[in-house]
Amino acid sequence: MFITAAQKEQIRTWLMGLQERTDWMLALAKRQDAWERDLTWRLAAERALHTSVEYTTDIGTLIIDALVMRDPGGYADILKVLVEEDVLPEEWFAAVYGVFDLRARFIRDHANVQPGEVRAAIETYAPLFAPFADHITRFVQL
């Protein structure tokens, strides 16, 4: 199987959305104020992080389906399949793995996500989306 031109265009579009959010989160991570205490900023940060995770898994799913790779068993496993297929490095996956627990909490336990957790997540995970995009761009030959 192969990745079609239409699928490459979809990946390109998703990567642009991911880049936009990554740039915003990286700028937010550099701020020295207590932005995470402001509800609007915190909710925006949560949404940017959540949609960034969705972009990575949507891209992963598209590649897995197009190239008929092993069916993943969940969100983290989507990216694990890409590690197994040498699309993404194991070290990157190990660094980003914790974001999937937070993603689940955003959906199922949102009321208990603390402001400091959101700030720490932005600082930890935002820098990991650019390397993901680089690996995908090279693999798909965009």
Cα torsion 53, 59, 65, 70 to 10°: value is -50
Domain residue spans in the chain? 5-140
For 13-36, the pLDDT digits (tens) are: 999 999 999 999 999 999 999 999
Q: Which amino acid is at 51?
A: T
Which pLDDT score is estimated for 22? 98
Return the structure tokens found at 80.
């694990």
What is the pTM assigned to this prediction?
0.94
Q: How far is CA 139 from the centre of its chain?
A: 17
Which pLDDT score is estimated for 88? 98
CATH number of 5-140: 1.20.120.580
Q: Which amino acid is at 1?
A: M
Which pLDDT score is estimated for 69? 79
Q: Which amino acid is at 114?
A: Q
Give me the residues of the chain with pLDDT under 70, please.
none
Q: Are 93 and 79 in contact (CB under 8 A)?
A: yes
Which pLDDT score is estimated for 43? 97
Q: Which of 12, 28, 18 is nearest to 124 (CA)?
A: 28
